[in-house]
Structure 1
């Protein structure tokens, strides 16, 4: 279950996630800790953010995946592919193929930059 919240003063949006699924439990354990002001908060790892965005499949989400891969090329692709394959089976969608298409695009852009 996701509980979307928004601070009325700042407009800051936050999704609180409550779940007992094996994936969500693992994603919560993998969350990255960061200090915001005087508070330690946890953010989804790059890998889990990629998984969520590929499942959402909206154009802007897939563009976000490209940006994440350009900035953080060192993501754990085996973790991402494992979970995408499991979700792909359930929702009957080519999620791993979508990831590969984006990876190829990013690699092509990186190769083009190196040549110049």
Structure 2
């Protein structure tokens, strides 16, 4: 929606749920699709992710938000229409923050694509603040350095 189009083989859905409701939610989700792990409850407790697959073999990762920036991203989500149906999407700024944490090359490439396509539309102060906070919290200065470099090159 926000960056350069690329073929992807999965869907990521981030949800906010109370810890007390996790077991009930997992049981409900198992009626709709199939877990890709043997013990979904334990896996969610350890990773905050529930990997699922549909009958059509579409992979879905249900991400249980818990960190402040994840909850903020849910609060800030925006509606976009897909085939006439409103769907909530993460803002481009929050998607950048989520992807820049990753050490995967394809996620960093996605960040560059989002920054390029959304040039002039991004809330740079929001990005600077959140990327700097995360880089400091995770003790990963390369996150901030990469963002600073891309920002200077592209924006």
Structures share fold, TM-score greater than 0.5? yes
Query: Over residues 62-107 of structure 1, what are the superposed CA-to-partner deviations in whole Å (9 max), with x where a residue is unaligned?
Result: 1111111111011111111111121112211122221111223324
Query: Over residues 3-53 of structure 1, what are the superposed CA-to-partner deviations in whole Å (9 max), with x where a residue is unaligned?
Result: 344434163x44333223322221101112123346432111100111111
Kindly report structure 1 stretches of 4+ aligned residues shifted beyond 6 Å.
Answer: none
Higher-RCO chain (CA-CA 8 Å, sequence separation at least 6): 2
Kindly indicate whether residue 128 of structure 2 is the aligned counterpart of residue 81 of structure 1.
Answer: yes
The answer as to whether partners of 1:65 and 1:102 remain within 8 angstroms in 2 is no
Kindly indicate whether residue 104 of structure 2 is the aligned counterpart of residue 51 of structure 1.
Answer: no
d(CA) in 2 for partners of 1:80, 1:105: 16
d(CA) in 2 for partners of 1:34, 1:71: 17
Unaligned runs of 5+ in 1: 108-116
Aligned residues: 106
The answer as to whether partners of 1:47 and 1:75 remain within 8 angstroms in 2 is yes
Determine which of 29, 36, 53 is the counterpart of 2:82.
36
Unaligned runs of 5+ in 2: 1-47
Kindly indicate whether residue 152 of structure 2 is the aligned counterpart of residue 104 of structure 1.
Answer: yes
Q: If the length of structure 1 is used for normalisation, what is the TM-score?
A: 0.75
